[in-house]
Each structure stands twice: as C-alpha cells, then as structure tokens.
Structure 1
Amino acid sequence: MRARVGNEVGRLWAAYAVSTYGTWLAFGAFPLIAVRVLHAPAFAVSLLEAAGLAVAALVAFPLGPWVAHHAKRPVLVTMDLVRFAALASIPICHLFGLLSYGQLLAVAVVSGAAGIAFTAASGAYLKHLAAGTALLDANGRFEATSWVATAVGPPLGGALVGLLGPVATVAADALSYLLSALGVLRIRGGDVVTPRGTARGADLLTGARSIAGDPVLRRLFANSVLVGGLIVAGMPLLSVLLLGRYRMPVWQYGLAFGVPALGGFLGARLSARLAARFGRYRVLRVAGWLRALFPVGLAFVRPGLAGLLVVIAVEALLITCMGVYNPIHATERLQRAPTGHAAPLLGTWSAAGKIVQAGLTALWGILATVTSPRTAITVAGVLLLATPLLLPTRAQLSAREPAAPPPSPRAGRPTARSVGEARRG
C-alpha cells in the first residue's frame, strides 16, 4: 500500500481501517437495540433511521464553512472524537438503566452529522495526499478495506452480541473512533485549507453549484443518491423481517451480510485492473448497471436456511458489483471537483444523499406498515432496476475536463500547503 501511494496515505488508510472495522463490528446495532432491547415496532425502527439521517444532514450543512476554512487533519480528529463521545454514551446509559429510544435518535443525529463532516474533510485530504494516478489505487485500497471489514465485522459482532448483548458492539465502535483519531494525528503530509474570503469556497451552495456545473457529476449524483436511498430504505425492514418475524439468530444475520462482503473485496481489488484493461468509463457503466439488478432477489427471502442462502447470494452479487464501481466513482468525483472545492462538493453530496435516504426510509416504513416488510423490500428492488438510466452517457464520460463552478465576484485561488477518504461512510 505505502509503496504504491505513499506513507501519509498509508497512515490515513490505517486510521480509516480501524474505525471501519469498529463500524462493521457494530453493524445493525441500533436497529437490534431498538428491536431486542427497547422492543420498538417496525415503523419506529424505520423512523430511527430516517430521522437520524435527515436531522444529521441538516445539522451538517452549517459545518460546511468550518470544514472548508480549517486544515483537514484537525477536522478529522475532532469528528472522530465527537463520534467517540456520542457512541460511548450508549453503553454508559445502558449500564445505569437510562437508555431510551430518544437517546438512540440523538446519538444517530450527532454521529451522522460528524460523519458527513468527516467524509467531506477526508475526501479533500485524500485528494491532497494522493496525487495523480495514485488516487484510483488509494480509493481501491480503501474500498477493499471497507469490504473486508464488512465480511469480518458482522460475524464477530454477532458472536459478541450473543455473549454480551448489542450494546457491547456500540462500545467497540466508540473505541475504534478514538483509535482512528490517534492514527490521524500521526499524519505529517501537510494539509489543505480554503482561506477565508476566497472563491466562496465555504458557501453552503458551493457544492451544489459544482455538481450542477458538470453534466457527469449531475448524473453520478442523481444515480448515487437514488440507489443509496433505495438500498438504505430496505435495510431496517430487512432487519425487522429477519430478526423479528423470522426470528433468525443474530449470528446467522451477521453471516448473511458478512460473507457476501468478500465479493466487495474482490471487486475493489479488481477495479483498477479492469479499468486499465477495458477503460474506466466502460467499467463504471457496466458495474453501475449490474448492481441495480440483484436487490429485487430479496423478494424471495423465506424463513430458515433457504432464506439465509437467498440473502447471501443476492448480497454477494450486489456487493461485488459495488466493489468494482465505487473506487472508479470516487476517483471520478474527486478528479472532477473544481480546485479547492472538494470538501464542499463532498459535504453537499453526502448531506443530500442522507436526506434522500431519510425520506425514502420513512416512506418505506409507512409502506411496510400498510402492506408488509416483504412488499416494501420488493418495491424498492423493482425501482432500483430503473436507476442505471441516470448514469452518464459514454459521450459525457469521455469529456475529461471537469466543469468549473459559476464565477463569483469574490473568486480567488485557494492554497494547499506542502503536498504529501477516507470514505466512511
């Protein structure tokens, strides 16, 4: 890793890895706590996800100027510490019998908003540290790490839940953010800042203008938020269906989402090679089409071993395609971001995606209440089949020069000190 992209990106990757493993160790912890500890109904579980995403996105918007006007490394450390404190409050309150649904919601909001700010800062910092062709390789490594953590974390988390309960996995996740903050502090590769008074770099609309000014970014954005929204909307309902109605053991639930992640690791490791052989844009479009085909298979989930195998097969196919798609998508997005505007663009992208996810999650919670969780999951899968139509065309992807944002009367040139993602996500 370090031989290909440098020591400083390697340190950023190490910090990202430890927090990502913590996150996936606690996979599904909030819905599980809501269902098993607080005995919340399906709508309440969906509302927890939806409200947490929506309010977190709204809270994150005022953080945009702060992220843009500050060196990115201190921002990353601060956001890690905020998430550590928020998540650590759950096991502490549970220990004293004070845990409530309202606290879960508050922690979801705080950690979600910090996550959006972290994503914006880490993307800009990674673009600063990984110059030129190293960026695609770095994104591939980050993506591969994410999928390995996805494969290993849920089964281990399921075992930990079986021994100590779901709150224990939240404590482990909190600790991972503390370790991540310590890891980021070790980076010495310089930093990147948009000075105050330049180029409206911290304007809350800067990210939206950057996306709107590039036809490829517009279509990638529309596809990304809709695909992410429909997938996320079905996850709480799948948890309710498997853990509640079908009474699937927690270790099987972790296995169902852990084993398929190995396909994501494989896809991420192959992504750069496929792009080199067949062309980045062809691979982006093919993987983007394929990833929309498989989620509808969740309509055939049944209780018992057959249902477990269906979930594993569907998730494996979906995640393999995502593993190929995501590094190319992340690289294209960063390379097309106007100079000095990567953080606002990524912040807007992340916040808007979470708002869409929140709206669709709430809507799907209502749909599941009126019909059934299985029906709502099926509808999401059918709608996903149309999302590839939003992908950029071959002609658009062949236009290499990213569009600049509309000029501003205060335009200037941002600076970057000494050239040397994380995608959490």
Structure 2
Amino acid sequence: MRGTEATIPVAYALGRLGFLHLLAVSAVVAAARIAFNAASGAYLKTLVGPDDLLVANARFESTDWSSIAVGPPLGGAAIGQFGPVTAVVADALSYLFSALSLTAIRGGREEHPRKAERSRVRTRDFLDGWRHLLSHPTLRALYLNNMLVTGLIMATEPLLAVLLLRQLGLPPWQYGLAFAAPCVGGLIGSRLASRVVARYGQHQILRTVGTLRAIWLIGLAFVRPGVDGLLTVIAVELAIIISMSLYNPVLATYRLENTPRHRIARTLSAWSIGQQASIAVFTALGGLLAGITSPRTALTVAGLLILASPLLLPRRDHTDQATREPAAPAEQEATV
C-alpha cells in the first residue's frame, strides 16, 4: 500500500497533482502503517523467543531513531539538489526494497490457520483488540498513558515550528539541527533497555522512565531567540528521546508478553489507531489554542498537561492474569 506514494510523481508529471490527492495518499499510507505495525508485531513473536523479545524491540527502536536522525537531512539535501518529486520517488522505491527484504525472511513457529478460518472475519473480531487492552488492568493503564503522552508530544511539533521559524527567526538549518541532533539519544536509550530491565525489573522501568519522559516537555515553553534557544530545544528533545527510546522497547515487550498470540494483530491495531487518533486530536486542539492565544501558550499548556500523565501509569503489575493462554484453533487470528 505504500506504493501509492508512487502516484504522486505520476500525477505531478501529468499536471494533476493536487491537495486532495495528497490527502488521499496520506490516508492510505496511515492505514498501511497501522496494518504493517500490527502484522510485524505478531510476526516478531513467531520469529523470536520470549527471552529475546526485549533485545529485538530495542534494536528496532535503535533503527527507527537512526533513520529519523539521518533521513530528514538526506531528504532535505535531495530535495534541494533534485526537487521534491525525486525525493518522493526515492521514498517509494525504499518501500519496494523493504518488501523484497521481507520476502527473504524464513522461519517462524506459528502455523497458519486454515483457509476457511482465515476468511471468516466477524465484527466482534474487529473490537477484540480494544476488549483485550481495556480488560487487562496494566495494559489499559499503559494504553491510556501512551495516548496522552504521545498525543501531547507530537502536538508540540507544529507549534514549535511556528515559534522557532516565524516568531524567533531561527534559520532553517538550525531548526533541522534542533531535531536531528537529539535523535542520537535514541541510540543511547535503546542500548540501555536490556541492561536496566535486567537490573531493576520491567515494571519498575515502566513506572520510572514513563514518568521521566513526561517531565521535560515544559522546557519548550522557555525557548528564547539565538543560540541559547537552540541549545534549549536540543537539550529538551534529547532528554525526551532518551526516555522514550528506553521506555518504548520495554513497553512493546510487555505488550507482546501479555497478549495471547491469536490477539496480537488485533491488539496492536487497536493500539495504533488509538495513538494516531490522539495525535490528531491533540494536534488540532493545540493549533486551535495557539490561534486563539499564541504558540508559546499552547506549548505551556501541553507541558503542564503531560505532567499529569504519570498518574495513569500502573501502580502494580498484573502479569499474573491469564493472558498467555495458547490460542484455540477456532480463534486464530484472521490474516489480512
């Protein structure tokens, strides 16, 4: 489905590229991302043993932050040298290469359900992921906390762009540096995940680091013009990214460990949909508030609201609940 990006240069060449086309492509890409994340999480559990799940998730996290650190500067250089359409073509080709790489994977311990079972997708199956998340006390708390934290953090990006570029007059290259340089923190946090969990325990890390990732955002409200403001943004983003990159693999591992195999894809789909919806809602509300007041005021409100997010974190672990039972044949996951 990411191949829909290839329609952009085609439409551009035909003189048909418009805003509605871009919106349609964005919607398809977002849906594809949700489906891929759900499928990849379910597939990972069939490829990797329980003892290696945290290591695998930490490596994925490290790769994600590496791509974020390297991708935008390379993309900006490509756009400046060859134009935006060429960059979109390169992006579309990268997903083709990714698909070819996935076909090279062999292995997996989970047997595919019978064809008759795969074709039977009922309405209640669509809601099964939310039922599992909301019925498990720890997953429910982590889910609600994640929607609030992710929504508020992502809502600050357009606000910060307006504040830095328009109001404080930061040069574009400094703005790019302010977001690219802190991504190094993603490598630091993801590398620490296995060690700190081994030392302090999974639940303690979820509580402690889940709290730490919420306390830094308020610093963006105090950004000033000049080099001091640039360093403030880099420091705040670095602290947030280190916390997130340490927290995310632990969260992903806990989620897989406490979700029966036949519900993983549905649960991860529900998680992704909730997360994307929260980002959209908080971004819209942040933009509305900034329009009425100012971007700095909206950043301050986001920074204060996120301080309440640790209250949603689970106070004790409920892993002992019966969430790891083997899947019954009749309840196997439908394959999309």
TM-score, normalization by structure 1: 0.71
Superposition deviation, residue 249 in structure 1: 3.5
Q: 1:144 aligns with which of 62, 71, 75?
A: 62
Please tell me whether residue 325 in structure 1 is matched to residue 247 in structure 2: yes
Residue in 2 that maps onto 1:19:
none
Residues 223-262 of structure 1: CA deviation (Å, up to 9, x unaligned): 0111111112221222233344445443322221111111
Decide which of 138, 149, 172 is 1:227's aligned counterpart.
149
Distance 1:108 1:273 in 2: 38
What stretches of structure 1 of length at least 5 have no aligned partner?
A: 1-81, 417-425
| Aligned-residue offset at 1:309 | 1.4
* Alpha-carbon distance change, 382 to 95 in structure 1, aligned in 2, over 3 angstroms: farther
1:372 to 274, 286, 294: 294
Structure 1 residue 385: deviation in Å?
A: 0.8
Q: Give the conservation status (yes or no) of the 8 Å contact 2:163–2:296.
A: yes
What is the deviation of 1:202? 7.2
Matches within 5 A, 1:278-297: 278-297=200-219
Q: Which one-letter code corresponds to 1:232 in the other structure?
A: M
Distance 1:103 1:415, change over 3 A: closer
Q: Secondary structure at the match of 2:126?
A: coil
Give 1:104 deviation, angstroms: 2.2
TM-score under structure 2 length normalisation = 0.89
Q: Per the alignment, in what secondary structure is the counterpart of residue 320 of structure 2?
A: coil
Structure 1 residues 241 and 175: alpha-carbon distance in aligned structure 2, compared to 1, 3 A threshold? farther
Indicate the residue corresponding to 2:89 in structure 1. Answer: 171
Q: Give the conservation status (yes or no) of the 8 Å contact 2:139–2:255.
A: yes
Tell me, in whole angstroms, the C-alpha distance in 1 between the residues paired with 2:299 and 2:111.
Answer: 42
Q: Which moved more, 1:90-99 or 1:190-199?
A: 190-199
Shift of 1:293: 0.6
Distance of 1:199 and 1:86 partners within structure 2:
26
Structure 2 vs 1, CA of residues 268 and 91 (structure 1 numbering), >3 Å: closer, same or farther? same
Q: 2: distance between equivalents of 1:248 and 1:90?
A: 31
Q: Would the alpha carbon gap of residues 411 and 401 (structure 1) be closer, same or farther in structure 2, given more than 3 Å must change? A: farther
Aligned to 1:383: 305
Map of 1:112 onto structure 2 = 30
Match status 1:302 vs 2:224:
yes
Assess, with a 3 A threshold, how the Cα gap between structure 1 residues 199 and 152 changes in structure 2: closer, same or farther. Answer: closer
Which residue matches 1:349?
Answer: 271
1:336 matched to 2:254? The reply is no
How far is the alpha carbon of 1:413 from its aligned partner?
4.8
Mapped to 2, the partners of 1:306 and 1:239 lie a distance apart of 17
Find the counterpart in structure 2 of residue 28 from structure 1: none
**Counterparts of 2:288 and 2:183 in 1: how far apart (Å)?**
30
Q: CA deviation at 1:192?
A: 5.5
Structure 2 residue 323 is the aligned partner of structure 1 residue 401: no
Q: Partner amino acid for 1:401?
A: D
Across the aligned residues of Structure 1 and Structure 2, the Cα RMSD in angstroms comes to: 2.5
CA contact (8 A) 1:232 1:361 kept: yes
* Superposition pairs of residues 4-403 of structure 1, within 5 angstroms: 82-83=1-2, 85-190=3-108, 193=112, 195-196=117-118, 203-393=125-315, 395=316, 397=317, 399-403=318-322
Verify the 8 A CA contact 1:144 1:264 in the aligned structure 2.
yes
Distance 1:160 1:198, change over 3 A: closer
Q: Structure 1 stretch 187-196 or stretch 209-218: which is displaced more?
A: 187-196
The 1-side partners of 2:102 and 2:291 are apart by 44
Please give the secondary structure, in 1, of the residue aligned with 2:253. Answer: helix
- Number of residue pairs matched? 327
Structure 2 contact 185–242 (Cα < 8 Å) conserved = yes
In 2: Cα distance, 1:350 partner to 1:146 partner = 16
Q: Is the 8 A contact 1:199 1:412 kept in 2?
A: no
Q: Is the 8 A contact 1:213 1:404 kept in 2?
A: no
| In 2: Cα distance, 1:200 partner to 1:243 partner | 49
How far apart in 1 are the matches of 2:18 and 2:119?
A: 44
1:166-211 superposed Cα distances (whole Å, 9 cap, x missing partner): 4444333222211111111111114654534889797111001111
Shift of 1:403: 4.1
The answer to which of 149-158 and 189-198 deviates more is 189-198
Partner of 1:44: none
Contact 1:199 1:413 in 2 (8 A): no
CA distance in 2, matches of 1:165, 1:249: 20
